A and B are shown apart, each in its own frame.
Chain A
């Protein structure tokens, strides 16, 4: 399994999760977990996804999601999981 973390930060609006999930579904990326909270007044969502069967290369997926974020008006990042696990787990 190849896990990535997608984070969405910005003003809350209707359909953010739907649009991100639709994009992931079209690319055959499986969502494993979703959590969301408000930090410093901003909508924060984190998704853990499995991109093993993704139909597009990881770099393209990350770029497409960033572009989608621009369209919605939020900041979307897609990063491989290891940067977080290495930093926060011994």
Chain B
């Protein structure tokens, strides 16, 4: 999971948000080398605090990044707002 799904979805979301690795690392208060390891699938493990920071910045849930949510359409339309009134 940390070797394939997570890195793939993370990179895709970061690029959608037009963020560089460095910018995302800075926004999440983690080191760029840690983020690089995660995105390369080289990270052996990850702290929940780091996961939550990344989720918060990229506005997705842990389920999505960890591959529990099989529907990747969320990545194609993360800024979709459904209005309650016409």
Question: Do A and B bind?
Answer: no
